[in-house]
Amino acid sequence: MKYCSQCGKSVSKKIPEGDNRPRHVCDDCGTIHYLNPKIIAGCLPVHGDRVLLCRRAIEPRRGYWTLPAGFMENGESTEQAAARETLEEARAQVRIGDLYTVTSIIHLGQVQMLYLAELPQPEFGPGDESLEVALFREDEIPWDELAFQTIRNALRFYFEDRRRQHFPLRHIDLETRPGQYIDN
């Protein structure tokens, strides 16, 4: 941020009175501009014993497989955002179920929230941001071609949990245990 979105003048980084960390403050009108994390909402769509994955057509990680997910917008709930992203990226209609993973990706300023979802009909196809979309059984998951650690974790949890038919909410702490996945 270089300019004030309220008055168009320049901003400087300073600690406002009564605050304890630097903010972008307008040099002219004094407006304080806070930067807050964004929510990535998505889901893990299940059809029978298979999971729906999308191969990314965009960077980062173009060509790698992921679960449908994207930035939550104003004017929708987290569940609606997850369903919308699935429709956009995989052209698939899902029934959003329980919240399944919550991951704070601190260095990116993102909080990823993935829901379990049911894909009632095996109808799907690549949206603008996907190269292809496909259903995978556990032994077919392209583990070495997954786009993100958070997606790998969510899928590992899912197949573990499916064996015991118990799907607790999973907090994934990427920062303190990078590469690991921990139970909540």
Q: Which residues contact 51 (CB under 8 A, 6 or more apart)?
A: 44, 45, 67, 135, 136, 141, 155, 158
Nearer to its own copies, 132 or 173 (CB): 173
Nearer to its own copies, 52 or 116 (CB): 116
- Do residues 121 and 76 lie in contact, with contact meaning Cβ atoms separated by under 8 Å? no
CB of 37 to its own copies, least distance (A): 6
Min dist. Cβ of residue 26 to its own copies (A): 10
Burial class (CB in 10 A: 0-12, 13-18, 19+), 92: buried
Footprint of its own copies on this chain (CB under 8 A)? 1-11, 18, 21, 33-39, 71-80, 98-99, 102, 104, 106, 109, 111, 113, 128, 169, 171, 173, 175, 184
Q: Closer to its own copies by CB, 54 or 141: give it.
A: 54
At its nearest, how many Å lie between its own copies and the CB of residue 24?
Answer: 8
Q: 182 is written with which tokens?
A: 């921990």
> Tokens 């991951």 label which residue?
103
Q: Which is nearer to its own copies, 12 or 140 (CB)?
A: 12
Could you tell me the smallest distance in angstroms from the CB atom of residue 16 to its own copies? Answer: 13
Quick one: 60 or 75, whose CB is closer to its own copies? 75
> CB–CB of 90/54 below 8 Å?
yes
As given in the structure block, the two tokens for residue 174 are 């990427």
Measure the CA–CA gap between 41 and 79, rounded to whole angstroms.
8
> Counting every residue, how long is the chain?
184
Minimal distance in Å, beta carbon 139 to its own copies?
Answer: 30
d(CA 113, CA 70): 10
User: Least distance to its own copies from the beta carbon of 136, Å?
Assistant: 27
Q: Which is nearer to its own copies, 34 or 144 (CB)?
A: 34
- Phi and psi of 73, rounded to 5°? -105, 165
